[in-house]
Amino acid sequence: MKTIKIQKLLLLFIGVLLTITLNAQNKKNYKPKNLEEAITQLDILFLDSTKNQIIDLSEQEFLARTHFFTGMWIRNNWGLWRGGKLAKYFNNLGIYHPDDMSSIILTSYYRHLHNQDLKVEEQIKFYQDYWKELQEYNYRLINDTAFAQQEKNRYENSIRERNENLKQEFPIGSQVKTWVDYSFFGSRSEIMGEIVDWRTCISKYTRRLGSSTKGPQIQSEYLEAKIKVIKYIDAKKKKGIERYNHMENDEIWVNVNLIHKIE
């Protein structure tokens, strides 16, 4: 478990490092006009040490950890949101979403560093197929009542199945750590405790299936665990946690997404 966390932190660090490097090196604010220039520019901006770190990652790891850092930098600074020359270049290739553009740039750069075939046409087709399938899916959700009900049931059942799996992962009696609120400003502190019960809650916020506002409305369920507090990690926050959560008998209900195992 510790090894996995260290790897995640390392990948996160690399994502931040890439963005810092870009900000530091991009003094001339040069904006590439096509994919070839984008790759060349990244090659200029990144230090050799940074390139070596990228080479040590798998393509999937690199893309997962750079989309929200380096990818955002590319989208914001190279005019992908504002219809700049690079955006128009991709538009002419049939790519219209800035996220897709930055992903193609980053994928191509990774393959460039590994002396691999960029497979640009294959990348373009992947995103075009994705949007085509999404469009067709949304159309069926709106116009095919039986299909919409089927997808609604499938989604809601998948949530219930996930919740049951979480109950098995954290059976009653499990000792866990979790974050809990202690103020109206969203402040949180960590506690250690034992799971003594589960409950399923219905979200007060409604949403619709698919990306259309006309898709079927779905019922969102989430899971909460009742935790008997064993220890307040920050003892100074004890009274605030108890008061804010109206606790009785040192027990508190916590969203399962905030729970993690004790190592």
Tell me the angle at which helices 120-143 and 98-113 cross, rounded to the nearest 10 degrees: 150
Q: 235: which residues sit within 8 A by CB, 6+ positions away?
A: none
Average pLDDT on 180-191 reads 92
Q: How many CB atoms lie within 10 A of CB 26?
A: 16
Whole-model pTM: value is 0.71
The values of phi and psi at residue 261, to 5°, are: -70, 150
> Where is pLDDT greater, at 136 or 212?
136
Q: Is the pLDDT of residue 52 over 80?
A: yes
Report the alpha-carbon distance of residue 47 to residue 105 in Å, rounded.
18
SS3 of 60, please?
helix
Query: What pLDDT, in 10s, does the model give residues 138-179?
Result: 999 999 999 999 999 999 999 999 999 999 999 999 999 999
Strand partners, 218: 207
d(CA 218, CA 231): 38
At 26 the pLDDT is 55
With contact defined as beta carbons under 8 Å apart, do 250 and 229 qualify? Answer: yes
Which pLDDT does position 2 carry in this prediction? 42
- State residue 112 phi and psi, 5-degree precision: -60, -45
Pick from 224, 166, 174: which is nearest to 195 by CA? 174
Confidence band, pLDDT 50/70/90 cuts, at residue 117? very high
Note the pLDDT of residue 1. 43
SS3 172: coil
**Angstrom distance (rounded) from CA 167 to CA 156:** 17
pLDDT of residue 212: 77
CA distance 172 to 61: 35
pLDDT value for 3: 44
DSSP class of residue 183 equals S
Question: Residue 28: what pLDDT?
Answer: 54
